Structure 1
C-alpha cells in the first residue's frame, strides 16, 4: 500500500509541473469519481463481480443480467466515458491489470471474453463473443464463441472483434478493422481497403437537389 501511495504522489507532482495545479486537480478529481462509480457497481453486483481498484468514468456502465454471469476486473483498469459492458447467460468476462478502454466502447459477453494485461483499446471498439442465429437451425438464438485478447495489445479506433477470435500478445489491430480468427503475436493486422470512385454527370446531381 505504501508503494502505491508513493507512486500516486510522485505522479501528481509530475503532472502538476507539466499541466499546472488546477488542471491536475480537475483531472484527478475525475479519477476519484470514476473509482467511486466503480465501487458502486462492485457493491451492486457483489456476487457476480470481483475487482481490484479500477476507474469507471461518466456514463459508462456494467450490466450483469444472469446469476451465472461473472466479471473479474484487475487492478488499475481504466474505463473512459460512455462505455457499455454487458454480461449475460453464463458469460465470463476477465479484464486483467492495467487495461485501458477508451470512450464509447461496447463489450457484449455471453460465453467468454478475456483481455490481457496492459492492453489498450481505442474509442468506438465493439467486442462480441456471439452472433445472432439468424438461420434458426436450433433453439438457441445465439451462436456462442470466445474472444481472447493477449497482453500488451493495441486495438485501434472503430474496430469490430467477432466471436472465435484470438489476438496474440504485442499485436496491433489497425483502425476500422473487422477481426475474426487468429492473429499471431507480434503482428500488425489490417483489413485491405480499396478506394472506389464512381463518376457521374453534373446534371444528375442538379436534378436531385
Structure 2
C-alpha cells in the first residue's frame, strides 16, 4: 500500500489527525517540497498532490473544516499564509500558482481554480484539449463568503470582502467590498 493510500485511509477514518503525524507523512510523500505550520484538518479532508516539482507552503494556525479538498498538480505552487480559516467543502485546484495571504476567512463551498479547460478545437473533444493555466493571488485579511468561485488570473487585494455567491473573474483592489458580480463598493476599513 503506498503512502497516499495510507493518508487517504487515515483521513477517512479519523476525525482529527495530529499535525505532527500529518506533517511527517506529507513530508515523506512530497520529498521535502513542503512547509507546514500547525494546522487543523477536519473529517473527510482529501488531497491529491503531484509527486513531481510542486511546492506547498502552509503557515501556522491554518484550519480546514470538514470535506476540504486540495489538488496540486505538477509544477504548481500553493502558498497559504498563517491564521487562515477554510469552512466546510472548500476546494482548491492548483495547476499553476495560488497564493492566499494571512488572516483570511473562507465560507462554505468556496472554490478556487487557477486553470480552465481549453475548448477552441472543434474537431477534438474538450476533455482532450488540456488546460490553460493562470494564477490566483488573494491578499491579507480577506473574507470570502459562502459559495464564492474564484477563477484564474485574478488578484484580490488586502482587506477585501466578497459576498456569498459571487463568481470572481477580474481583479479586486484592496479595501473593497464585492456584494455581487455587478456591484463594487470601495470602502476603507
TM-score (norm 2): 0.79
Give, in whole Å, the separation in 2 of the partners of 1:36 and 1:103: 22
Q: Is contact 1:153–1:170 with CA below 8 Å preserved after alignment?
A: yes
1:49 corresponds, among 34, 38, 62, to 34
Deviations 1:87-123 (A, max 9, x none): 0021100001111111101000011000000000111
Q: Distance in 1 between matches of 2:120 and 2:21?
A: 40
Q: What is the aligned counterpart of 2:147 among 143, 151, 158?
A: 158
**CA RMSD across the alignment:** 2.2
TM-score under structure 1 length normalisation: 0.71
Establish whether residue 180 from structure 1 lines up as the match of residue 165 from structure 2. no
Q: What is the SS of the residue equivalent to 2:171?
A: strand
Gaps of 5+ in 2: 1-14, 123-127, 183-189
Gaps of 5+ in 1: 1-29, 194-209
SS in 2 for 1:190: strand
- Could you say if the C-alpha distance between residues 154 and 66 of structure 1 is closer, same or farther in structure 2, counting changes exceeding 3 Å? same
Task: Tell me by how many angstroms 1:63 deviates.
Answer: 1.9
Alpha-carbon contact 2:117-2:129 (below 8 Å) kept: no
Write out aligned runs for 1:18-167 (5 A): 33=17, 35=19, 38-39=22-23, 40-136=25-121, 141-167=130-156
Count of paired positions: 163
TM-aligned CA deviation for residue 183 of structure 1: 0.3
Q: Which has the greater radius of gyration?
A: 1
Structure number with the bigger relative contact order (C-alpha 8 A, sep ≥ 6) is 2
- Equivalent position SS for 1:38: helix
State the Cα distance separating 1:53 from its structure 2 match: 1.3
